[in-house]
Structure 1
Amino acid sequence: MPNIHHGFLGPNGEVLTEQERRDRQRLRDEIDLNSFNLRIWAVAATGFFTDSYNLFATNVILPSLAFVYWPNERSTWRELLVNSMTLAGSIVGQVFFGWLGDRFGRTRLYGIELAIVIFSTIGVASVSSGYLENMSILGWLSIWRFVMGVLLPRVGIGAEYPLSAVITTEWSSTRARGRMIAAVFLMQPVGQLFAHLVGLWVLFGLDKRDHLQENCSKTADAIALAKCTSTVDSIWRIVTGVGAAPALIAILFRLLISDPGLYDLEVKKNLPRALRSTRRVYGSQANQNIQMQLIGQANGPATLHPPANPVQFSSRDLTRFFFEQKNWVYLAGTSTTWFLLDFSFYGLGMGNFRTLSKIWATWDAKQQGGNPPAVPSWNTDPTLNATILENKGRQATIYDVLYENARKSMLTVSIASVMGSLLFIYAVNYLPRRQWLTTSFLALAILFIITGGTFYAVFHTTNHAVTVFLVAVCHFGFNFGANTLTFMIPAEIFPTTYRCFCHGVSAAAGKLGSVVVLLILHYVHASDPVATTQGYIFIIFGIVMAIGAAFSWAWIPNIQAGREDPRSLTLSNKRLEDLGGGYERAVVGEGECIGFRRKWRRWRGED
């Protein structure tokens, strides 16, 4: 049995000396005197908002690009390429920057990566086909979106995703940690909502100035159509360029933050700097006696650690941490659940305008003489033309496509997601996180199966609002549970030495799930324009969510302790220092049952 000194495990699972234990306790006391910190939240939230905005602005960018540069193309392979390059960049970025965040510090790369985000955003907004089309606009767009994917958060995405989560976690007090991380994640649906609002604002403004609807009509002359194309080319460039503005604000916030004290102490072995950084962020919250004691201890030579840094990412270190101490189980749990979550989440989220068009469609093939006609790729809804003709007496234009995409996405996705995140922020300290992750997966599994069956019952009829409502409930459920928790848990359960890297690997696994589902849906949308298989897709999503429930039940540890007061509903968070003890502390020291085999043996009474 491993030698467990209960409560005194270090950042690599080693047994702490008494002096190291006192140093950690001093720093934890300093941090835990505080509550929710708006300054820390703003630092992480602004970057998260930026990445979410840039991701979901795709719903405006891609139809506009297709209309301008390949207006008669019916295949959606270019759309798939741009989205896949973004996600591929995020996979590379999350693992790479997660490693850099642990190896060199949390904040050293924080401002630099946002500067590159601004640069790449301007690059996307400025791509061109060159003089007489001597360059490939698709090639340049894919390259710049790959760079965005490496450096943005919500598209996966490299530096921002693990760094924002981990910095928020390590700067938070124990009691405020859950709400602070959940509040950062709220910026994902808020950024998505703003992307649609900005898209509509630009669309309405340019329509008023350039008469977009009239110029884009099929009855318009060549001069009017040229003006229409020029205006649409401006739409996606403006919407993309606006994404650089919150990144500029985020850089200003990030100049005000330094590496968390926990990182300075446990990895850099520098207690005085850890305490100084903590006081710069939180100020003097402790009472006079405690404060003077901390300052005296910090300045005394007895508490100074040797300057040598721990050996990180050496083959011996990695073997001991992941295999000898069995922490691969934690990483497998966070990675698998995130992969399965994003498979379904991105199946509804990224490129959702095509899926939503099928859910909202009222086309009845039998009554209306067969399938709707084939349409170019910029028209994301093959049934839209018939709907516009019936309601407005004219054919659908690119204006109608962009407007309908934004309207349907806000009503079905964005508003429900924001409501789910807000409710979770309120409820996070009342819900046991591991159990709620499992419950959330199971609830989503049931919801998706019901949605799939309901879809067939109201397939392309005027009762389609039932399916629309159920899909909105699914998005609410995502953010009230599994979507938020898969972001939170990897930032809490790993030790400081590998926290950023493990979060990056977990997030990258999620984006791998996104790539897989995008490839599947590309072929489904191409071969099934009227959504005869959409109900089966929902049911498959439900099965995937049920599998996610099994893995979260088996491989995710408890993040919270018991209730602070038997009469209270509030659950107390475990300290990061305790969670950092990893698998050995949880199983041997605290008697948790983690893993399919252990749970099966305990169920049979053999353990």
Structure 2
Amino acid sequence: MAREQLGVLNALDAAKTQWYHFTAIVIAGMGFFTDAYDLFCISLVTKLLGRIYYHVDGALKPGTLPPNVAAAVNGVALVGTLVGQLFFEFMKRHGLHLLGTTTTWFLLDIAFYSQNLFQKDIFSAIGWIPKAANMNAIHEVYKIARAQTLIALCSTVLGYWFTVALIDIMGRFAIQLMGFFFMTVFMFALAIPYHHWTLEPNRIGFVIMYSLTFFFANFGPNATTFVVPAEIVPARLRSTCHGISAAAGKAGAIVGAFGFLYAAQSTDPAKTDTGYPPGIGVRYSLIMLGVINFFGMLFTLLVPESKGKSLEELTGENRDENDEKQIQMDPSRTVPI
């Protein structure tokens, strides 16, 4: 059995680049495009839905979605993704490595999706964009989209390219550990002196540091959590363990989408969005995200380094091949189970 599996893997390793490779790249890219469209643009859509369908004539503030509707709109795509990945992939366990990949992906997505979905509220809270009451719907969406695009271009996209350039030099483990570390540092640096960053002369500094959390998310665990589960488990379990790890990530995204929707609300009832109870505020939400990133750094210690090793070396499949050869040469030899 091991020899047959290695034969398949060797054939894949020796195969030349063909048309189906590019087909796979395009399919994967379109899948991520639709995923990103649902998850990263939904914050702008909810703004418009609130203004259009929940507008109250004479109100001081523009309309906003009620908490239950906002939670459903933000979370429904993530719930569907989680169910799909579990339905198709949930079969077996693979020890501490699987624990490491699932927990790190889970913790990352709590922090990463929370930041993406609610960065519009953070920009308003520090005064980088005007309050919603001072803008019409088109102006508000434009301001938010411009801010998010600026951060994406200067940090998110740049972080991915740093990972592409350095992943086989620094290694997966080092990049993931470094990413979680700096995400933790910058979250605490934003949260602890939070009042300092809300002052007008310091707003640009806040935006720069906030952008760095996205940079080190993508030059860090938001890239490596996709890669590692596909490299560190045997071929017969690879898609299963990757699916379980990805499902854990989407579970974390659901926690972030639903939990921080309420948590980031002001502690002052007079300053919360319509229909929301008081939360813990932006400052303590950032502290909580910093703690989550710190635990992600700890659970990264369960993930082995796969740089410079073949899939067979990482999963021990070469040992199975060698054991079979030695048994054929010496039938009296027993192999430990």
**Which TM bucket (shorter chain)?**
0.7 to 0.9
- 1:436-447 matched pairs, under 5 angstroms: 436-447=175-186
Residues 414 and 355 of structure 1, relative CA distance in 2, 3 Å threshold: farther
- 1:59-138 matched pairs, under 5 angstroms: 59-72=43-56, 74=64, 75-98=66-89
Secondary structure (helix, strand or coil) at the match of 2:169 reads coil
Q: What is aligned with 1:335?
A: 102
**Contact persistence 2:265–2:281 (CA under 8 A):** no
Instruction: Give the CA deviation at 1:338.
Output: 0.7
Instruction: Give the CA deviation at 1:518.
Output: 2.6
Once residues 79 and 23 of structure 2 are traced to their aligned partners in structure 1, the CA distance between those partners, rounded to angstroms, is 32
Alpha-carbon displacement from aligned partner over 1:98-146 (angstroms, at most 9, x marks no partner): 35xxxxxxxxxxxxxxxxxxxxxxxxxxxxxxxxxxxxxxxxxxxxxxx
**Contact persistence 1:424–1:480 (CA under 8 A):** yes
Higher relative contact order, structure no. (Cα contacts within 8 Å, ≥ 6 residues apart) = 2
Once residues 21 and 82 of structure 1 are traced to their aligned partners in structure 2, the CA distance between those partners, rounded to angstroms, is 44
Q: What is aligned with 2:312?
A: 577
Once residues 208 and 127 of structure 2 are traced to their aligned partners in structure 1, the CA distance between those partners, rounded to angstroms, is 10
Secondary structure (helix, strand or coil) at the match of 2:33 reads helix
- 1:129-528 matched pairs, under 5 angstroms: 313=91, 318=92, 322=93, 327-361=94-128, 383-385=131-133, 395-528=134-267
Q: Aligned partner of 2:147: which letter?
A: K
Once residues 164 and 114 of structure 2 are traced to their aligned partners in structure 1, the CA distance between those partners, rounded to angstroms, is 25
1:54 aligns with 2:54: no
Once residues 219 and 167 of structure 2 are traced to their aligned partners in structure 1, the CA distance between those partners, rounded to angstroms, is 9
Q: Aligned partner of 2:82: which letter?
A: I
Q: Aligned partner of 2:310: which letter?
A: R
Alpha-carbon displacement from aligned partner over 1:309-332 (angstroms, at most 9, x marks no partner): xxxx5xxxx4xxx3xxxx221111
Q: What is aligned with 1:548?
A: 296
Q: Which deviates the most, 544-553 or 459-468? A: 459-468
More helix by share: 2
**Contact persistence 1:359–1:468 (CA under 8 A):** no
Which structure's CA Rg is the greater one?
1
Once residues 22 and 77 of structure 1 are traced to their aligned partners in structure 2, the CA distance between those partners, rounded to angstroms, is 51
Q: Give the aligned CA root-mean-square deviation in angstroms.
A: 2.8
Secondary structure (helix, strand or coil) at the match of 1:343 reads helix
Residues 41 and 25 of structure 1, relative CA distance in 2, 3 Å threshold: closer
Alpha-carbon displacement from aligned partner over 1:567-600 (angstroms, at most 9, x marks no partner): xxxxx2x222333338x99xxxxxxxxxxxxxxx
Q: How much identity, in percent, do the aligned residues show? A: 27
Q: Aligned partner of 1:68: which letter?
A: I
Residues 401 and 577 of structure 1, relative CA distance in 2, 3 Å threshold: same
Q: Aligned partner of 1:330: which letter?
A: H
**Contact persistence 2:103–2:299 (CA under 8 A):** yes
With normalisation by structure 2, the TM-score equals 0.80
Alpha-carbon displacement from aligned partner over 1:69-92 (angstroms, at most 9, x marks no partner): 222355433111111222211110
Instruction: Give the CA deviation at 1:334.
Output: 0.5
Secondary structure (helix, strand or coil) at the match of 2:286 reads helix
Instruction: Give the CA deviation at 1:26.
Output: 4.4
1:558 aligns with 2:305: yes
Match for 1:45 among 5, 8, 29?
29
Residues 470 and 26 of structure 1, relative CA distance in 2, 3 Å threshold: closer
Gaps of 5+ in 2: 57-62, 273-278, 321-337
1:23 aligns with 2:7: yes
Once residues 350 and 94 of structure 1 are traced to their aligned partners in structure 2, the CA distance between those partners, rounded to angstroms, is 22
Once residues 300 and 70 of structure 2 are traced to their aligned partners in structure 1, the CA distance between those partners, rounded to angstroms, is 33
Instruction: Give the CA deviation at 1:548.
Output: 0.9
**Contact persistence 2:264–2:280 (CA under 8 A):** no
Once residues 496 and 22 of structure 1 are traced to their aligned partners in structure 2, the CA distance between those partners, rounded to angstroms, is 9
Secondary structure (helix, strand or coil) at the match of 2:283 reads helix
Instruction: Give the CA deviation at 1:508.
Output: 1.5
Instruction: Give the CA deviation at 1:348.
Output: 0.3
Residues 63 and 559 of structure 1, relative CA distance in 2, 3 Å threshold: same
Residues 523 and 29 of structure 1, relative CA distance in 2, 3 Å threshold: closer
Once residues 344 and 56 of structure 1 are traced to their aligned partners in structure 2, the CA distance between those partners, rounded to angstroms, is 14
Q: Which deviates the most, 502-511 or 474-483? A: 502-511
Once residues 78 and 344 of structure 1 are traced to their aligned partners in structure 2, the CA distance between those partners, rounded to angstroms, is 22
Residues 537 and 86 of structure 1, relative CA distance in 2, 3 Å threshold: same
Gaps of 5+ in 1: 1-9, 11-15, 100-312, 363-380, 386-394, 561-571, 586-607
